[in-house]
Amino acid sequence: MIELSLDTLLTRVQELLTYDNNSPLIFNSGLFLFLFVGFAAGYTLLRRTTSLRILYVIAFSIYFYYKSSGIYFLLLVFVSISDYLIAHAIAGSQDKSLKKRMVGLSVAINLAMLGYFKYTNFFIEMANGLFGAGFLDFQNIFLPVGISFFVFQSMSYTIDVYRGAIRPLSRWTDFLFYLSFFPQLVAGPIVRARDFIPQIRRPLQVTREMFGTGICFIIGGLVKKAIISDYISLNFVDRIFDEPALYSGFECLMGIYGYALQIYCDFSGYSDMAIGIALLLGFRFPKNFDAPYKSATITEFWRRWHISLSSWLRDYLYISLGGNRKGKMRTYLNLLITMLLGGLWHGAAIRFVLWGALHGVALALHKAWMSIAAWAKPNGEQMNPLLRLGGWFFTFNLVCLGWLLFRAEDMQTVHLMLYQIAHNFNSAIIPQFVLGYKAVVGLIVLGYAMHFLPEKIDGDIQRKVSGASFWWQVAMLTVVVWCVMQIKSSDIQPFIYFQF
């Protein structure tokens, strides 16, 4: 019996130390909760020894990334060494042309690495399509989880050093800490060096407000991701997108609206948990989502959706292209290029390019409209109620059209779903649909109701949860975890943005 227990223990330890590509380590898994409790105990013991605490967090972050992507954690270490050295070369030189070449080297290294892992198969597929099947051999290249996020963070560091916005770090371990910090490592938010680096070596202090707010964010993130997003995905959305011809136009439309909620709850749920975990460790991340489906214009949508990416594209790509400083036509072209590249950032497929083009054209047209119509506004808060309602309806459905391109496996699926909506809507099926998908409909209604809560009510709820006693917070978190366990599928569902 003792021998069996010892064998079992050794097996468990081996599983903890081995990467399993079928079971990556993610926030909403029981394994992460178990590991985080142990990590937090050690983190608390090291709260007064800054250097040791930093090394401890780096070790856990590297382990976390290893459990998510295996041996590819070495890419993260390589980027940290490369850009650390390049940033010092930039800061230590007085030669402007050398500085430009060095920041160009940083961008080239990062984009070359990103391009190899994300786009090699895409270009092989394009070449085979142009020159015939078999022209190039297909390469089954594994995409390391979160590579787009830490590459963008690293580039922002060297670019900011080049621009003089920050000074290079004197310790490589601090830079590795910034790049590898596990709460935001694999799916964002994209944290700027100038926002995060000042927090690394300051005295660790987790206030009552930070702890309570962190628990509130974690609870909200779990509800969004593990209850709403996962359930409607497995039990409705995936079925529609897998076989759209089997469903009516109404069901296809509900599938698109369901996916709009699914991707929001999935991604903002991850961001909420990342922000919450960081707060428990004494770090503050910027907000990444601000009720984007409340937007009444496409410009407002991109000020509310994936804020860390949209602001990164604005500051490091759009402005570098010239922004709005070179005339109207150049501004529109810059917007289109930025969103096309933003689409490609999400994935190497024509549908992502079309998704980016849709948003780029929409942003350019809205900017042109604001220059023509004096009453046109960038944000819904500045409109009168009737125009705001019309703007919201148009913007929401335009965004959902984009999500159709984003989610569909191919353009045939896009065509089938639009055809069903236009020619086989069948509204008579609505009562049957509601009865047949009671739980799905209930969660969709709950998800959108949470999203459209007035800011005052949402703020009041957050303040009550974050201001509750410790044991009440533990009780609320326990109830949410219990609910997750009741409805979860046999397999943990990975976050959508892991693939980007």
Q: Is residue 124 part of a domain?
A: yes
End-to-end CA, the chain: 46
Would you state the pLDDT for residue 2?
Answer: 47
Closest CA to 195 of 125, 288, 76, 289: 288
Q: Is residue 43 part of a domain?
A: yes
Q: Is residue 500 part of a domain?
A: no
Q: Taking a C-beta distance cutoff of 8 angstroms, is the pair 354, 337 a contact? A: no
From first to last of its 500 residues, the chain has per-residue pLDDT tens of 444 576 676 766 766 777 776 667 777 677 778 888 889 999 999 988 999 999 999 999 999 888 888 888 899 999 999 999 999 999 988 888 999 999 999 999 999 998 888 888 777 777 777 777 666 666 667 778 888 888 999 999 999 999 989 999 999 999 999 999 998 887 778 888 888 999 998 888 888 888 889 999 998 998 998 889 989 998 999 999 999 999 999 999 999 999 999 999 999 998 999 999 999 999 999 889 999 999 999 999 999 999 998 999 999 888 888 888 888 888 899 999 999 988 888 877 788 889 999 999 999 999 988 888 766 677 777 778 888 899 999 999 999 999 999 999 888 999 999 999 999 998 899 999 999 999 999 999 999 999 998 888 888 888 888 888 888 888 888 888 788 777 765 555 666 655 55
Domain of residue 268 covers: 209-492
The residues that are catalytic are: 346
Closest CA to 403 of 279, 225, 237: 237
Give residue for tokens 């064998």.
Answer: 7
Q: CA-to-CA distance for 196 and 229, rounded, in angstroms?
A: 30
Domain identity same for 166 and 194: yes
Domain identity same for 367 and 260: yes
Domain identity same for 198 and 225: no
Q: Is residue 5 part of a domain?
A: no
3 state SS of 481: helix
Which of the 8 DSSP states describes residue 326? S
Domain-terminating residue out of 204, 226, 259? 204
Q: CA-to-CA distance for 68 and 145, rounded, in angstroms?
A: 7
Would you state the pLDDT for residue 62?
Answer: 92
Domain identity same for 59 and 144: yes
Q: Is residue 9 part of a domain?
A: no
Would you state the pLDDT for residue 1?
Answer: 43
User: How many other C-beta atoms can be found within 10 angstroms of the C-beta atom of residue 209?
Assistant: 12
Domain identity same for 299 and 160: no
Domain identity same for 118 and 246: no
Domain identity same for 160 and 193: yes
Q: Is residue 13 part of a domain?
A: no
Domain-terminating residue out of 181, 204, 227? 204
Q: Which two structure tokens, joined as six digits, stand for 455?
A: 């800011």
Q: Is residue 292 part of a domain?
A: yes
Domain identity same for 122 and 258: no
Q: Is residue 18 part of a domain?
A: no
Domain identity same for 259 and 161: no
Helices (H) and strands (E) in the chain, counts: 22, 0
Give residue for tokens 């236009």.
Answer: 422
Q: CA-to-CA distance for 102 and 88, rounded, in angstroms?
A: 10
Domain-terminating residue out of 204, 220, 251? 204
Domain count of the fold of the chain: 2
46 CB-near residues (< 8 Å, 6+ apart): 52, 53, 56
Domain identity same for 186 and 279: no
What are the Cα distances from residue 230, in Å, to 19, 23, 32, 440? 24, 16, 18, 11
Q: CA-to-CA distance for 366 and 354, rounded, in angstroms?
A: 18
Which of the 8 DSSP states describes residue 185? T
Domain identity same for 135 and 161: yes
* Amino acid type, 52: L
Domain identity same for 82 and 220: no
Query: 166-179 b/e with 16+ CB inside 10 Å = b?
Result: bebbeeeebbbbbb
